[in-house]
A = this chain, B = another copy of it.
Amino acid sequence: MVEDTMSGTETRTAEADQKRALIINQAARLFDERGYGNTNMTDIARAGGIAKPTLYHYFRSKDEILMQIHEEFVAILLSKHEERRQQNLSARAELLELMADVVTLLDTHRGHVRVFFEHARELPAEEQRVIRRKRDQFRANVIETLQRGIKNGEFTPTLDPKLAAWGIVGMVNWTYQWYVQDAKYSSREIAERFYTMVVNGIGVPDHREV
């Protein structure tokens, strides 16, 4: 009987988690389409097909939904990197995967990404700090990969890894502004071409500048 009660609780928790995930996805889509400022709790409830009091049962405020969107997106991004740790990739291969992690997320989490980049500053100061720490972790992973590549001769020793990381992060992050699914290149191909551009350069070697 105790076990029955427990699994009943678990079922209810799972249902609640599922409901929360659904609301977050609908909210992310709305924020993406109309902007965060133009979306209110009534819109989110309507999109989720639930009553407004039900929505408030799951999330106290729009800020809480926004925070949850950030958490989800960053967690996915960082866990992909963690999962690769065992593979002992070269710094180049690792860099490619890090770039692909961001761009391919657009296929599944477009709304999350836009909200993540454009509305973090609308969160309360304490929550911004939490978000920023995790966001910085992604860039730290890129820096670490560049440093490793410089050390083992894959990347040029004149590189400033911190500045280069900003450039690379900028290239891949900016894709949310223009990426269209099912267009000329897949998200993976975009990452691969950007990677090639960054590693090999776009200059013709004969004209290589000093």
**Residues in A lying within 8 Å of B, measured CB to CB:** 35-38, 92, 117-119, 121-122, 146, 153-156, 159-160, 163-164, 166-175, 177-178, 184-185, 190, 193-194, 196-209
Report the Cα distance A155→B203, complex, angstroms: 4
Residues from chain B with a CB closer than 8 A to the CB of A118 are 118
Chain B nearest CB from A176 CB (Å) reads 10
Given A160-B193, A164-B202, A173 contacting B175 (CB threshold 8 A): no
Name 30 interchain pairs, CB-CB below 8 A, sorted by A.
Answer: A35-B119, A37-B122, A92-B203, A117-B177, A146-B202, A153-B204, A154-B207, A156-B200, A156-B201, A156-B202, A163-B184, A163-B185, A163-B193, A164-B193, A166-B178, A167-B171, A167-B193, A167-B198, A168-B171, A170-B172, A171-B174, A197-B201, A198-B198, A198-B201, A199-B202, A199-B203, A200-B201, A200-B209, A201-B202, A201-B203
Residues from chain B with a CB closer than 8 A to the CB of A200 are 156, 201, 203, 208-209
One complex includes copies of this chain to the number of 2
Q: Is the interface of A mostly helix, strand, loop or mixed?
A: helix
Chain B nearest CB from A36 CB (Å) reads 7
Do A190 and B169 touch (CB < 8 A)?
Answer: no
Residues from chain B with a CB closer than 8 A to the CB of A160 are 193
Report the Cα distance A173→B121, complex, angstroms: 18
Residues from chain B with a CB closer than 8 A to the CB of A194 are 163, 167
Report the Cα distance A45→B122, complex, angstroms: 21
Residues from chain B with a CB closer than 8 A to the CB of A193 are 160, 163-164, 167
Chain B nearest CB from A73 CB (Å) reads 16
Given A163-B185, A171-B167, A155 contacting B205 (CB threshold 8 A): no
